[in-house]
Amino acid sequence: MTFDYDLFVIGGGSGGVRAARIAAAEGGAKVGLAEESRMGGTCVIRGCVPKKLMVFASEFPGQIEDAAAYGWKVKAEGFDWPKFRTTLEAELTRLENAYRNTLKNAGVTMHDMRAVVVDPHRVRLANGDEFTAKHILIATGGRPFVPAIPGADLAVTSNEMFHLDALPKRALVVGGGYIASEFACILNGLGVDVAQYYRGAQILRGFDDEARGHVANAMAAHGVAIHCGTDVERLERRAGGICAIATDGSEREFDLVLYATGRVPNVAGLGLDHLGVALGSKGEVLVDDWSQTSVPSIFAVGDVTDRINLTPVAIREGHAFADTVFRGVPTKADHELVASAVFTQPELGSVGLSEEAAAALGKTEIYTATFRPMKTLFAGRQDKVLMKLVVSVETRKVLGCHIVGPEAGEMIQLAAIAIKMGATKEDFDRTVAVHPTMSEELVTMRKPTRVV
């Protein structure tokens, strides 16, 4: 049987674009790709990229204060949100075009509309056109989840944060994960009065306890009012703003309420359930190590599979799929020791096991260094950096590294290489320090702080 395409990809985000490009450019496949929104997906259009640019924008007031402490005659005179938003939009358009050019140069045919799966080898576009494909790749990502509380429609999600008409004066951020904590810091840095409500005992659940405590304390010291053990019961529109009636009995008014309470896989209406593609309890597409679903011609990568929901992981999954199916190089995406960074202020960079997870497996040495970095200490700031290594007593391997401080994301990327290679504590010790830096602490911590 001949097909219109060797591969049809649904979703033009990080995973789908990578798979399409490699299959077409390196695998010689005839590839079609459908995207209903803007090419580039969540990461580029409404996630990592615009978020990080907002982080940069929000860091300037502190940096300008520090510059003044260093002797510069400067002061921040206010933030021009519409100007920033316009420049941001232009940058996103540039990136979107770069994605389009990449696909075009690889020979991928783009369809700028929604596609659904009709049968194991057939897709239908929103305009009614149908195409057959030997393989179909679902790379539709995820979308924000907002719990169905009364007044939920008064809240915005991260999708809307980049398009606000104006910055609010008072904002409530609900949730304690990556997105909530990052936006709480961004808004705080931009001069917004921020409260963060989180239902659990401490934000950033899943990360090393000491590290997340360090982040939370620093965020609070910088002005984010974190309320743990607090959730919103309902939202009401009142004369003074949006009133959040909380589980602690409080009623507070805000100009903006951002819900960052997790994301769910984008599978609604795709037609997968009719075909017998197995889905998990959150709707995620269940796949094997090769990203193959229960229907052999249909594969899925990225957030829609809810494995590790990070762009670089989706890219690896997409690449591994294309290598396996179109280049004759069987490759499984590696989900072990994936480093990540939370772009809070201060940043949290993390790879491997937390102290708690390692201690549950065996005797563990914990090395920590907490100190005021020279750059901000000079400017009179109290901010402290945390460097932490989690080491197996038995194998001497460094099982985890957790860094809280400026540029923690940059540092953890490099530490992750050593840890991925299986470096021992002694390998770290025999590496000569780079001085004066913050990261030199990683190779100069001689005695364990504790053994757990």
Positions in 342-361 near ligand NDP (CB under 6 A): 342-343
- Token pair listed for 39: 């090419």
Stretch near ligand NDP under the rule CB under 6 A, chosen from 59-67, 82-90, 254-262, 272-280: 254-262
Q: Is 335 a catalytic residue?
A: no
Helix (H) / strand (E) containing 356? helix 355-361
Positions in 132-151 near ligand NDP (CB under 6 A): 147
Residues 207, 354 contacting (CB under 8 angstroms): yes
Q: Report the 10 Å Cβ neighbour count for 221.
A: 12
Q: Is 230 in the site for ligand NDP (CB under 6 A)?
A: no
Q: Is 224 in the site for ligand NDP (CB under 6 A)?
A: no
6, 35, 231, 306: which one contacts ligand NDP (CB under 6 A)?
Answer: 231
216, 341, 366, 438: which one contacts ligand NDP (CB under 6 A)?
Answer: 341
> Among residues 163, 227, 319, 435, which one is catalytic?
435
CB of 2 to ligand NDP, least distance (A): 40
- Token pair listed for 138: 């679902």
CB of 383 to ligand NDP, least distance (A): 20
225-228 and 232-238: which strand pairing? unpaired
CB of 181 to ligand NDP, least distance (A): 8
Residue nearest to ligand NDP (CB): 177
| CA atoms in the 13 A half-sphere facing the CB of 332 | 7
Q: Is the dihedral of CA 207, 212, 216, 221 positive or negative?
A: negative
Residues in binding contact with ligand NDP, number by CB under 6 A: 23
CA 110 from chain centre, in angstroms, equals: 26
Distance CA 172, CA 191 (A): 14
Q: Is 313 in the site for ligand NDP (CB under 6 A)?
A: no
Q: Is 229 in the site for ligand NDP (CB under 6 A)?
A: no
Q: Is 261 in the site for ligand NDP (CB under 6 A)?
A: yes
| Count of H-run helices and E-run strands, the chain | 12, 22
CB of 221 to ligand NDP, least distance (A): 21
Distance CA 252, CA 243 (A): 5
120, 177, 223, 283: which one contacts ligand NDP (CB under 6 A)?
Answer: 177
Question: 327-343 burial, b for 16+ CB within 10 Å, e for fewer?
Answer: beeebebeeeebbbbbb
The residues, ordered by sequence, that sit 6+ positions from 274 with a Cβ below 8 Å of its Cβ are none
75, 163, 169, 205: which one contacts ligand NDP (CB under 6 A)?
Answer: 205
CB of 263 to ligand NDP, least distance (A): 4
- Token pair listed for 372: 């005021």
CB of 118 to ligand NDP, least distance (A): 30
Q: Three-class SS of residue 452?
A: coil
Residues in contact with ligand NDP by CB under 6 A are 147, 175-180, 182, 198-200, 205, 231, 260-263, 309-310, 340-343
Tell me the catalytic residues: 435
